[in-house]
Amino acid sequence: MKDSELLRYSRHILLPQIDLAGQEALLRSHVAIIGLGGLGSPAALYLASSGVGRLTLVDDDTVELGNLQRQIIHSETNLGDLKVQSARERLASINSHAEVQIVDRRLDEQGLIALANEASVIVDCTDNFDTRHLVNIACVKTRTPLVSAAAIRFEGQLMIWDPAVPNSPCYACLYPSDQPIEMSCSTTGVAAPLVGVMGGLQAMETLKLIAGISSDHTGRLTTYDGVFNAWNSFAFKKKQDCSACGTETN
């Protein structure tokens, strides 16, 4: 590790759970972030600043005025720009050593599988049910860790799928694909700091997965109530007939 890297990441290296080995793992890692909106903004900022060596940003949308209330990676000067391009410019201003690749189109299942095959971790920051299931399928098929979150109104949730943990349930075990959930912050609203809380949590869990910090966080849905500042964790199990990871369907 170069002297400049030792200085930049010194606060990480001081942590015994990370140390030099963990920071070097971050520098070698490749994280793909699907969605550069409210969740993807803080997740990308913290992962780039933490020293993730390679980031792939996936989003087919452009920056609109209504995004700026919560999508902190973008600014007024980026209105009309592709979100992935705006995000890449911002990340370069924070850490010019991070390699940032962009995909400015919506990936289908095969495209997501190809991306997951290359990535150390997939961070799902999307805001629709169908895409979340496609991302989950890609991670299950390639055995790539998945960090997924959602935020709406004052409520957030997070779940992790880690193939290193035996019998780890996936997103479809919790939310079956044949039972769609139709909610959108464009119709119900979302508190701006909420996506910062949940996107930052995604970055934290991604960092821990890469650095090998021991924590069996699978099989749990973590929820946050921003009104009452309350956290809860609910256990759920792998379904043998799950459409994505079940032994009866594969």
Q: Tell me the C-alpha distance between 169 and 182, whole Å.
A: 22
Please, what are the averages of pLDDT over each run of 10 residues along the chain (250 residues)?
A: 91 95 96 97 97 97 95 96 97 95 95 97 93 95 96 95 89 84 71 96 96 82 96 92 77
Question: Quick one: 3-235 is in which CATH superfamily?
Answer: NAD(P)-binding Rossmann-like Domain (3.40.50.720)
Of 58, 9, 63, nearest in space to 31 by CA = 58
Tell me if 201 sits within 8 A of 158, measured CB to CB: yes
**Whole-number pLDDT of residue 184:** 63
By annotation, the residues acting in catalysis are 185
Q: According to the model, what pLDDT value does residue 182 have?
A: 63
CB 98 within 8 A of CB 53: yes
Closest CA to 31 of 158, 193, 204, 192: 204
For the chain, the structural domain boundaries read 3-235
Which residues are within 8 A (CB) of 76 and not within 5 positions of it... i.e. 6 or more apart?
Answer: 68
Supply the pLDDT for residue 180.
Answer: 64
pTM of the predicted model, to two decimals? 0.94
